[in-house]
């Protein structure tokens, strides 16, 4: 089944996000000391780096479907899931690896590969809470918290599709995030302390999303349930919210969207 057409990174005119805002949490010398303290030559970190380096990622083939309920999981994510369960990483293991990603950040398709790998390590890991550090990266990972059920804290910016199809848990981004925050999420909570780009909450079925900064275009596109709170400004709400049959469903959306404490959708 073919899913609905969504805005992509280059489709929204004038909606490019100033991602640099969230990088100022640490001074350069502080970030360097944190990184050196965590990224030591331990066996687990070396194993994670070897596995990551050997993974081949093709976005045309391996990108998660925006309507995965209608399509099977791809082989790349199934492989990552198997690695995550087998490695059973701790919070410290994953935090150290997030810092070690600086060695790979100039590789092709880095954002998607890095984000999905981190998500698989968290999903299959032994800890309940995980910290990821992204301040040192020029481009932050996408898909952080994919299919999440745990607590994730991102110290810095996040890329696109934060919390995509997450089931439960909490994701806190202490910076900005890209487009598609909370896309097709089924539960849990996402908090972004900075700004977000377009398609905020696209396809969300349940759960809550709080944005303490600004949002751009197409807020709530195809949203069927859940709640969005925007504490800053937003550029526009998607007109798909006004069409109960847009997803081929007979029931109307139960979603709610608030801006600065005032409900802006539904307006009645």
Judged on CB neighbours under 10 Å (0-12, 13-18, 19+), 230 is buried
pLDDT at position 1 over 90: no
Instruction: Please compute the mean of the pLDDT values over residues 94-98 and round it to a whole number.
Output: 98
Q: What is the mean pLDDT of the chain?
A: 86
Distance CA(13)–CA(11), nearest Å, equals 6
Distance CA(139)–CA(112), nearest Å, equals 11
Cross-sheet strand order for the sheet of 189-192: 129-133, 151-155, 170-173, 189-192, 208-211, 227-230, 256-259, 262-265
CB 194 within 8 A of CB 215: no
DSSP 24-89: GGS-HHHHHHHHHHH----HHHHHHHHHHHH----HHHHSPPTTGGGSPPPHHHHHHHHHHHHH--
**Most confident among 64-73, 188-197, 216-225 (mean pLDDT):** 188-197
CA angle, 187 then 236 then 229, to 5°: 35
Distance CA(89)–CA(245), nearest Å, equals 43
Instruction: Please compute the mean of the pLDDT values over residues 205-232 and round it to a whole number.
Output: 96
- For 185-215, how does the pLDDT look when each residue is reduced to its tens digit (9 = 90+)? 999 999 999 999 999 999 999 999 999 999 9
Distance CA(211)–CA(181), nearest Å, equals 10
CA 107 to chain CA centroid, Å, is: 20
Dihedral, CA of residue 263, residue 266, residue 267 and residue 268, to nearest 10 = -110
Predicted pLDDT of residue 20? 41
- For 119-172, how does the pLDDT look when each residue is reduced to its tens digit (9 = 90+)? 999 999 999 999 999 999 999 999 999 999 999 999 999 999 999 999 999 999
CB 205 within 8 A of CB 222: no
Q: Which residue has the higher pLDDT, 13 or 160?
A: 160
Predicted pLDDT of residue 74? 84
pTM of the full predicted structure? 0.85
């Amino acid at each position: 089944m073919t899913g609905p057409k969504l805005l992509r990174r280059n489709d929204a005119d004038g909606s490019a996000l100033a991602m640099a805002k969230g990088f100022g949490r640490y001074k350069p010398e502080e970030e360097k000391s944190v990184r050196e303290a965590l990224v030591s030559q331990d066996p687990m970190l070396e194993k994670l780096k070897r596995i990551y380096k050997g993974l081949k990622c093709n976005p045309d083939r391996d990108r998660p479907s925006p309507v995965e309920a209608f399509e099977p999981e791809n082989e790349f994510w199934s492989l990552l899931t198997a690695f995550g369960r087998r490695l059973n990483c701790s919070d410290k293991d994953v935090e150290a690896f997030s810092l070690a990603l600086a060695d790979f950040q100039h590789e092709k398709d880095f954002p998607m590969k890095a984000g999905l790998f981190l998500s698989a390590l968290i999903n299959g890991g032994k800890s309940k809470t995980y910290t990821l550090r992204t301040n040192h990266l020029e481009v932050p990972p996408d898909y952080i918290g994919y299919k999440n059920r745990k607590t994730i804290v991102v110290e810095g910016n996040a890329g696109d599709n934060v919390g995509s199809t997450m089931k439960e848990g909490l994701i806190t981004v202490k910076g900005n995030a890209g487009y598609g925050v909370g896309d097709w999420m089924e539960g849990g909570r996402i908090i972004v302390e900075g700004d977000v780009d377009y398609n905020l909450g696209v396809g969300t079925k349940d759960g809550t999303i709080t944005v303490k900064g600004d949002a751009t275009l197409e807020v709530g596109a195809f949203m069927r349930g859940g709640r969005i709170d925007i504490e800053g400004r937003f550029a526009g709400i998607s007109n798909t919210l006004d069409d109960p049959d847009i997803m081929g469903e007979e029931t109307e959306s139960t979603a709610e969207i608030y801006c600065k404490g005032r409900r802006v959708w539904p307006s009645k």
